Structure formats: structure tokens, C-alpha cells
């Protein structure tokens, strides 16, 4: 984590389903300071399930973010998510990193549901000498090449240079490391609930143990409100955000929101159950929730009751200083949306 390093900074560029976010951080011996921040909303249907349907609109939004936020840097870190990303913790015979990079393709084949030729592979060795000492735990990351290609192309069209391609969930844990001191022995589930994708990343003692992207998020709430109350997309978005719409009873909205949270909580529970079944640890001690959906009124307490776990609303700017040009109220308002962009901005050119 190079906060003291002289490595060149990158712009954390999060191309989300409902908006593009860009964050620039300045690292010093005192920690991080926010330099630039920009958010530009995307119209619906421009990005669907992580697939870019209208590249031109996204490119324009990226350029607008850079212009409005006066970002001069051209090097960016982006992240991919959704169904083209597979992250798995696997156990392999113990070998050194060089050996593993030579055999990873072969080792990975059985764990990846895609043609191995179609993915870019990466790995991180977590622990060597586990089991009877002859094995090691490895995090395997596979991302479809065409997805990476799409993102790099998009960034290039916007006149920028992709230096780092990450996955959402790792950017999320990078952000968490920057903002929250680690408490040893704790199992934390980081959940970023955006509009199209929910990233779940369970960390045990700061190490990745389970990673999953689920195609659920804010769009489910908007769709349900739109259908059940027979309102427009704009009205449904407003109702979801707690705004009033004439002729609509707020308690009807709450009922719909709660039933969607219930569906989503079942998916989260499924991941927690899988975690419990595949590791020695018993419970998830707490959830740290970010993403636009964390702003839904009462989602924390309702989710807490469904999952029987503590839910904390994460603040991606918690440990980041900001100069006077930023309005604290604005930062507080947009903070939940910025977790991935902050995590990406904390990377440096040369980071893997």
C-alpha cells in the first residue's frame, strides 16, 4: 500500500451502471487527501448487467466528469464487475510464485466456467504451507478478455490511458483498508450495492475468503416501484429516494422497498451460508454497506434484522482529508457512491 511511495497516482474511474465517478487522491506521510471528485449520471439502459450498450454516451460522461472536476491526470484505474468476473479461493500444491505463474492456466481450468483462452488470469498467494504443509491458499481471478478490451477501448476513446484494471470487490477492500483500521480476528462482509450489481467481499482477518458479484441492486427497487405503483421511471427513482410524489402513499413505497430488500437479503444470506459451509469460521461479525442503495432509508436496520448481523454504513472518505473547495455536506451525500472510485484512486501506476 504505497502511501509513502513516489509512484505516479492514477485517477480512480468507476464506470457504474447509473453514473461515472472519478476520484483523485494525493498520498503523503499524513495519509490521503482528496484532490478531485466528479460524478456524472448515466441514462438508464446505457449499461446493462455490466455490458456497455451505448459506448458513445459513456465516453461523453467520462469526458464531462474529467472536465467538470478539472482532472488533469490521464492515467486511470478502472474496475470490472458482474458475470464476466470470477474470483475464487482455491487450494493448490505449495509452489513458489514463479512456478505458479507458469502453471496457473492449467491449474485454473477446472475452476473457471469459461474457456480458459477467453479469460485473463491473475492470482494472489494468501498462505503457503497450509494443510499438512504441502499446500497453499490462492485467490484466483479470471476476467473475460472481451470485457477488459471493452473497458480499455472506452477509456482510450475518452482520451485516457488505462494503467490498472481491477475488479470492483478488490477496489472495495482497498478502500476499506484505507478507511478502517483492521481489527484482527474479525470477519467483515463488505457489500457495495449499486444499481445493477452488488459486490460481496468477505474478509477474514483482512484476507479475502469469499467474493461474489450478484446482478441485483437499486434497479430492482426502481423496477418494482414502477410496476406496482404504475409510475414513471423518474417518479419511481424519486419515491425510492424518499421524495414525495402526488397521489402515492409513502407506506406503499416502504412495503415495496422492504420486499425487495428481503429478496436481496436472501441472496446475501446464500453467500454467508456458503462461507460458513466452506470455512472453519462460524459467523460474519458485521457488514459494511456502501453503494447508492445504502442510502435507502432504513435499509441498515431492515437488513440487520434479516441477516441477524450488525450493519454499518461505510464511509469511503472516513480517513481522507479534503481541502476547503469541497463542501462537506456534498461529500457526505455522495460518499456511499464513491467506494469503488476511492479504492481505485488509492492504487498507483505500477501496482498490480
Ligand X SMILES: Nc1ncnc2c1ncn2[C@@H]1O[C@H](COP(=O)(O)OP(=O)(O)OP(=O)(O)O)[C@@H](O)[C@H]1O
Residues that bind ligand X in the complex, under the rule CB under 6 A = 16-19, 194-197, 217-219, 237, 240-241, 291-293, 295-296, 337
Nearer to ligand X by Cβ, of 51 and 130: the residue is: 51
CB of 338 to ligand X, least distance (A): 8
Q: What is the C-alpha separation between 215 and 48, in angstroms, rounded?
A: 10
Nearer to ligand X by Cβ, of 34 and 335: the residue is: 335
Give bridge partners of residue 105 from the DSSP assignment: none
Nearer to ligand X by Cβ, of 76 and 108: the residue is: 76
Q: Decide if residue 336 touches Mg ion (CB under 5 A).
A: no
Among Mg ion, ligand X, none, the one that 169 touches (CB under a kind-dependent 5 to 8 A) is: none
Q: What is the C-alpha separation between 191 and 291, in angstroms, rounded?
A: 8
Tell me the backbone φ, ψ of residue 316, rounded to 5 degrees. -65, -10
Among ligand X, Mg ion, none, the one that 292 touches (CB under a kind-dependent 5 to 8 A) is: ligand X
Residues 15-74 touching Mg ion, rule: CB under 5 A, are 16
CB of 198 to ligand X, least distance (A): 7
Tell me the backbone φ, ψ of residue 121, rounded to 5 degrees. -110, 145
Helical ranges in the chain per DSSP H? 55-68, 97-108, 145-157, 168-179, 218-229, 233-240, 250-278, 299-307, 328-334, 339-345
Q: Decide if residue 217 touches Mg ion (CB under 5 A).
A: no
Q: Which among 343, 349, 347, 340 is positioned nearest to 14, based on CA atoms?
A: 340
| Axis crossing angle, helix 145-157 with helix 55-68, rounded to the nearest 10 | 50
CB of 195 to ligand X, least distance (A): 3
Nearer to Mg ion by Cβ, of 34 and 79: the residue is: 79
Instruction: Figure out which of the listed residues 194, 218, 336, 343 binds Mg ion, where binding follows CB under 5 A.
Output: 194
Q: What is the C-alpha separation between 187 and 282, in angstroms, rounded?
A: 9
Strands 187-193 vs 85-93: parallel, antiparallel or unpaired? unpaired
Nearer to Mg ion by Cβ, of 253 and 345: the residue is: 345
Point out which span in 14-22, 55-63, 149-157, 204-212 binds Mg ion (CB under 5 A): 14-22
Among Mg ion, ligand X, none, the one that 237 touches (CB under a kind-dependent 5 to 8 A) is: ligand X
Number of other residues whose CB lies within 10 A of the CB of residue 178: 22
Nearer to Mg ion by Cβ, of 16 and 314: the residue is: 16
Point out which span in 11-19, 69-77, 103-111, 254-262 binds Mg ion (CB under 5 A): 11-19
Among ligand X, Mg ion, none, the one that 220 touches (CB under a kind-dependent 5 to 8 A) is: none
Q: Which among 60, 18, 52, 78 is positioned nearest to 159, based on CA atoms?
A: 60
CB of 240 to ligand X, least distance (A): 5
Among Mg ion, ligand X, none, the one that 337 touches (CB under a kind-dependent 5 to 8 A) is: ligand X
Q: Return the SS3 of 130.
A: strand
Point out which span in 35-43, 92-100, 142-150, 191-199 binds Mg ion (CB under 5 A): 191-199
108's CB contacts (< 8 A; 6+ apart) are 116, 121, 140, 142
Please report, as ranges, the residues that interact with Mg ion according to CB under 5 A: 16, 194
Amino acid at each position: 500500500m504505497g502511501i509513502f511511495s513516489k509512484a505516479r497516482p492514477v485517477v480512480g474511474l468507476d464506470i457504474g451502471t447509473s453514473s461515472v465517478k472519478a476520484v483523485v487522491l494525493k498520498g503523503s506521510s499524513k495519509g490521503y487527501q482528496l484532490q478531485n471528485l466528479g460524478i456524472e449520471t448515466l441514462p438508464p439502459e446505457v449499461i446493462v448487467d455490466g455490458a456497455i450498450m451505448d459506448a458513445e454516451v459513456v465516453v461523453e460522461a467520462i469526458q464531462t466528469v474529467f472536465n467538470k472536476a478539472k482532472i488533469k491526470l490521464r492515467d486511470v484505474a478502472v474496475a470490472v464487475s458482474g458475470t464476466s468476473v470470477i474470483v475464487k479461493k482455491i487450494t493448490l500444491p505449495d509452489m513458489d510464485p514463479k512456478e505458479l505463474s507458469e502453471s496457473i492456466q492449467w491449474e485454473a481450468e477446472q475452476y473457471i466456467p469459461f474457456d480458459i483462452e477467453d479469460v485473463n488470469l491473475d492470482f494472489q498467494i494468501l498462505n503457503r504451507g497450509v494443510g499438512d504443509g504441502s499446500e497453499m491458499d490462492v485467490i484466483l481471478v479470471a476476467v473475460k478478455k472481451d470485457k477488459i478490451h471493452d473497458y480499455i477501448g472506452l477509456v482510450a476513446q475518452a482520451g485516457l490511458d488505462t494503467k490498472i484494471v481491477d475488479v470492483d470487490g478488490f477496489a472495495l477492500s482497498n478502500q476499506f483498508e484505507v478507511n478502517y483500521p483492521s481489527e484482527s480476528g474479525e470477519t467483515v462482509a463488505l457489500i457495495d450495492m449499486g444499481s445493477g450489481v452488488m459486490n460481496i467481499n468477505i474478509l477474514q482477518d483482512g484476507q479475502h475468503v469469499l467474493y461474489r458479484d450478484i446482478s441485483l441492486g437499486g434497479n430492482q427497487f426502481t423496477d418494482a416501484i414502477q410496476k406496482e405503483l404504475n409510475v414513471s421511471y423518474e417518479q419511481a427513482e424519486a419515491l425510492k429516494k424518499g421524495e414525495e410524489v402526488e397521489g402515492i402513499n409513502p407506506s406503499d413505497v416502504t412495503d415495496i422497498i422492504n420486499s425487495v430488500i428481503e429478496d436481496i437479503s436472501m441472496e446475501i444470506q446464500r453467500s454467508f451460508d456458503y462461507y460458513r459451509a466452506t470455512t472453519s469460521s462460524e459467523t460474519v461479525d458485521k457488514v459494511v454497506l456502501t453503494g447508492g442503495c445504502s442510502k435507502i432509508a432504513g435499509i441498515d436496520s431492515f437488513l440487520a434484522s434479516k441477516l441477524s448481523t450488525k450493519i454499518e454504513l461505510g464511509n469511503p472518505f472516513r480517513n481522507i482529508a479534503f481541502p476547503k473547495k469541497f463542501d462537506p455536506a456534498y461529500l457526505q451525500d455522495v460518499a456511499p457512491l464513491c467506494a469503488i472510485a476511492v479504492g481505485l484512486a488509492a492504487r498507483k501506476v505500477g501496482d498490480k
